[in-house]
A and B are shown apart, each in its own frame.
Chain A
Amino acid sequence: CTETYAERYYNRLDVQKAMHANITRIPYRWTACSDVLIKTWNDSELSMLPTYRMLIKAGIRIWVFSGDTDSVVPVTATRFSLSHLNLKTKIRWYPWYSAGQVGGWSEVYEGLTFASVRGAGHEVPLFQPRRAFRMFVSFLAGKPLPKS
């Protein structure tokens, strides 16, 4: 229920003042998600795979991760999509570790790293903050996730 806390906190006038927010007095309450936008969204690309290929060519580091208890954009969806990039495998599928436990599984391809995060939902850092942070540190370092 944490998003209800945000709805309360960011609608407080003292919070908006402290953040220099809502200076134009928007005619609606601050909310975590806008119904208007999601219902009237115009253009949406069918696939991001061509963009991934362009970014790989441009030498941009790409990491894609999945919390494996999410059923809205689940790990199987992401894996199925990524498999159609047909990338060459550099480091074969292995369990990665955080605090002595399997933090998830990972596979490193030419140009892209995939990692699952075990026991995490759609918002990975909310459900598995320590594993998410461990993954972030490896991403910034540009190093594969730890094997122990």
Chain B
Amino acid sequence: AEERARDRVTALPGQPAVAFAQYSGYVTVSEPHGRALFYWLTEAAAGDPAGKPLVLWLNGGPGCSSVAYGASEEIGPFRIKPNGTGLFLNKYSWNREANLLFLESPAGVGFSYSNTSSDLKTSGDERTAQDSLQFLIGWMSRFPQYRHRDFYIAGESYAGHYVPQLARKIVEYNKASPNPFINLKGILVGNAVTDNYYDNIGTVTYWWTHAMISDGTYRAILKLCNFTSANVSNACNRAMSYAMNHEFGDIDQYSIYTPSCH
């Protein structure tokens, strides 16, 4: 309770008045390494938060922050004013229906840190999933009201790895626990990195069907790139780079019909 009280956020600078509670702070995931992950919880805005599910949101990258993207420009209750001068409300925030937990993972992302600096160069899928499970166990002992609560994991992009991998760890952890308390009900992933080979084929196909690349470049990429291998050949790199540098033009690849940001 003391740690929970310490994490209570009374209000953020430039924030409009809100009725829901917020908490943010650190949960240690590795004592020996001094690794700790930063979280931000915005409780449900409508109705009684105790009756609403808990949704953990993870952004991808790898290396990108759920506070920067998920919380501040996608599903969180606040949007940031230009030049960082304050906040305004997001009308379609997902905290209308759920308690939102944003986690900056792994260490090295955003405010999450490690006192063992080499940790930042040895991250990968496996340790990230293990640390996130460790985080959840520690966080739910600080916020015991969320134990056994309907729990969902959501995310996008490279979190197409993080989300199912953490879900798998939770399923295994629950199986091994005499009294499981992480009540995982479902996962929701968007524009998710799913399968190296099929994703790449599907991506080049999208570029061609959306008239972003020429027939010649499309054929060259399919011919020179062996997507079954994790290693990319120089010839494949050249074909892909030609497409991006000489045929795409100055577009926002993440949203091909909206202006790019200068």
A positions within 8 Å CB-CB of B:
1-12, 14-16, 18-24, 26, 30-38, 40-49, 51-52, 54-55, 58, 60-67, 69-84, 117, 119-127, 129-130, 132-133, 136-137, 139-140, 142
**Per-position binary interface string of chain B over residues 194-211, scored 1 when its CB falls under 8 Å from any chain A CB and 0 otherwise:** 111111111101110110
Nearest-neighbour CB distance to chain A for B141, whole angstroms, equals 18
Other than the known A2-B73, A8-B84, what 7 A-B pairs have Cβ atoms closer than 8 Å?
A5-B80, A31-B68, A37-B62, A63-B189, A77-B201, A78-B199, A121-B254
A125 to B79, CA, bound (A): 12
Q: Which residue of A lies closest to B251 (CB)?
A: A71
B214 at the interface (CB under 8 A from A): no
Give the docked Cα–Cα distance between A119 and B203 (Å). Answer: 17
Q: Mark B1-28, 1 if CB is under 8 A from A, else 0.
A: 0000011011111000000000011100
Q: How far is the CB of B200 from chain A (nearest CB, A)?
A: 7
Structural contact, A76 and B65, CB atoms closer than 8 A: no
Contact (Cβ within 8 A) B164 A19? no
Q: Which of B12, B73, B106, B252 has the most CB of A within 10 A?
A: B73
With contacts A12-B13, A34-B109, A140-B53 taken as known, whether A82 is within 8 angstroms of B203 at the C-beta atoms is no
B203 touches A74 (CB 8 A): yes
A126→B73 contact, CB < 8 A: yes
In the complex, the answer to whether A9 meets B97 with C-beta atoms within 8 Å is no
Contacts of B26 in A (CB 8 A): 20, 23
Q: Which residue of A lies closest to B11 (CB)?
A: A18
Q: Is B212 part of the contact surface with A, judged by Cβ < 8 Å?
A: yes
Chain A residues with CB under 8 Å of B186's CB are 60-63, 139, 142
Q: Encode B103-142 as 1/0 by CB contact (under 8 A) with A.
A: 0001011110101000011111110000000000000000
